[in-house]
Amino acid sequence: MSDLFKLSIVVPCYNEEEVLHETTKELTKIVDDLVKAGKVTETSKIVFVDDGSKDKTWQLIDEFSQKYQTVSGVKLSRNFGHQGALLAGVTSVSKDSDAVITIDADLQDDVNAIPKMVDEYLNGAEVVYGVRNNRDTDTAFKRGTAEMFYKFMGFLGVKLVPDSADYRLMSKRACEVLLSYRERNLFLRGIVPLVGFKSAKVYYARKERFAGESKYPLRKMIKFAMDGITSFSIVPIKLIMGLGFFIVLISILLLIYSFVQKINGNVVSGWSSLMISIWALGGVQLISISVIGEYVGKIFSEVKQRPRFTIERDIYTEKTQEENKR
């Protein structure tokens, strides 16, 4: 791949007015440097995807798109979530881009890894993962839970790239395959490895958030993890079946024990053991029903076939059409 190629950088945004100036500054510099180095075309773009922000995010995107030729934007009609915004951006740009990079707007992912990703692409890799080389910026709790999550997903048979989030480069062909996956319950970290093709990794040090607040508090992280688990494996349902058989075995053993105690005349009446059993079994049943309900809920959302996102305005396409007319 020695010829120049068109690169598009997709940046999902939700209430990111505090960081957009700096993000635009750093990304435009990276793109300009790649153009000067003769690696990407002058038509390469930075595409901010406004995921239903309530602040001035879209206003800033619109202003930057008029000020900088390399900056474009896609505005969603409402909030569709981080994964939906990423997919919307990839859908818009993949039609006429040779490669697409996705990166969050908060500047925690080092933009200086982008040239390395481009080099890996030029060397033949069609999927290049940005991988953190350490978790020094995370709390001990977050480090521990992240490690447990990756190990558990591996146990379930889900192939993930550890310490890799949604910072990656994908070729046009890889993007086309990704978009052919039609599920509504999006967990791109699990879907992208299924795409196949030659892949590579670029390691970088994750930084502190430049400004603003994290859009992934504990509640959303737990939901994200649950989506990942239930979207890619039915092992939890099988574990419930195993748990059921285990409890039945225990009940049979307790029944035999009760008969033996009855014969020996050692029966002690009391409600403690009975209440503990009722509460324990009740808790197991509720958890089991909840897990099964999670899968049923996903079936419910899949069969309705509702749009995964709705685009209100697409500045990227508008600019591309203008450029093609010239």
Q: What is the pLDDT of residues 54-73, one digit of tens each?
A: 989 999 999 898 888 889 99
Same domain, 166 and 259: no
Q: Would residue 239 count as lying in a domain?
A: yes
Of 74, 80, 60, 49, nearest to 20 by C-alpha is 60
Q: Is 194 left (phi over 0), alpha (psi -120 to 50) or beta?
A: alpha
pLDDT tier at 255, thresholds 50, 70, 90: low
Instruction: Mark whether 241 and 258 lie in a shared domain.
Output: yes
Within this chain, do residues 185 and 250 fall inside the same structural domain, yes or no? Answer: no
- What is the model's pLDDT at position 315? 84
pTM of the model: 0.69
Structure tokens at 9: 């950088």
Average pLDDT over residues 149-159: 69
Confidence check: pLDDT of 47 > 90: yes
Q: What is the pLDDT of residues 181-212, one digit of tens each?
A: 887 777 777 788 888 888 899 898 877 755 55
Q: Can you give the CATH number for the domain in which 195 is found?
A: 3.90.550.10
For residue 291, pLDDT over 90 is answered with no
What is the pLDDT averaged over residues 34-48? 90
Residues 241 and 175 occupy one common structural domain? no
Q: How, if at all, do strands 45-50 and 71-76 pair?
A: parallel
Instruction: Find, among 11, 12, 16, 10, the residue nearest to 54 by Cα.
Output: 16
Residue range(s) defining the domain that contains residue 98: 7-217+308-325
Does the pLDDT at position 266 exceed 50? yes
What's the total number of domains in the chain? Answer: 2
Among 37-41, 204-208, 209-213, 315-319, the range of highest mean pLDDT: 37-41
Give the pLDDT confidence score for residue 261 in this predicted structure: 66
Q: Per the domain annotation, does 227 fall within a domain?
A: no
For residues 137 and 263, membership in a common domain is answered with: no
Confidence of residue 50 (pLDDT cuts 50, 70, 90): very high
For residues 212 and 291, state if they share a domain: no
235 versus 97: the higher-pLDDT residue is 97
- 86 and 194 fall within a common domain: yes
Quote the pLDDT of residue 185: 72
159: in domain:
yes
Residue 299 lies in a domain: yes
Residue 105 inside a domain? The answer is: yes
Residue 106's pLDDT is 86
Beta bridge partners of 127: 170, 199
Write down the pLDDT at residue 13.
Answer: 92
Instruction: Write out pLDDT tens, residues 208-248.
Output: 755 555 555 556 666 666 666 666 666 676 677 677 777 76
| Inter-residue contact 298 to 230 (CB < 8 Å) | yes
Residue 261 gets the label, from left (phi > 0), alpha (psi -120 to 50) or beta, of alpha
Instruction: Choose between 317 and 297: higher pLDDT.
Output: 317
Indicate the average pLDDT of the chain: 79
Q: Quote the pLDDT of residue 1.
A: 45
* Secondary structure letter of residue 5 according to DSSP: B
- 68 with 152, same domain: the answer is yes
pLDDT of 257 higher than 50:
yes
Q: What is the mean pLDDT of residues 111-136?
A: 87
- The more confident residue out of 155 and 86 is 86
Give pLDDT, residue 216.
Answer: 53
Say yes or no: 181 and 289 in one domain.
no
Ranges 122-126, 193-197, 291-295, most confident = 122-126
Residue 251 has pLDDT above 80, yes or no: no
pLDDT of residue 232: 60
Q: Clarify whether residues 65 and 147 are in a common domain.
A: yes
User: Are both 170 and 242 inside the same structural domain?
Assistant: no
- Cβ–Cβ under 8 Å, residues 89 and 130: no
The confidence score (pLDDT) of residue 280 equals: 67
Residue 2 lies in a domain: no
Q: Specify if 84 maps to a domain.
A: yes
Q: 89 and 105 in contact (C-beta within 8 Å)? A: no
Q: 75-79, 223-227, 297-301 — which is least confidently predicted? A: 223-227
Q: State whether 79 and 127 are in the same domain.
A: yes
180 within some domain: yes
**Which tokens hold the place of 308?**
């995964």
Neighbour order of strands in the sheet with 164-171:
199-204, 127-132, 164-171, 99-102, 7-13, 45-50, 71-76, 311-314
The tokens for 139 are: 């709390």
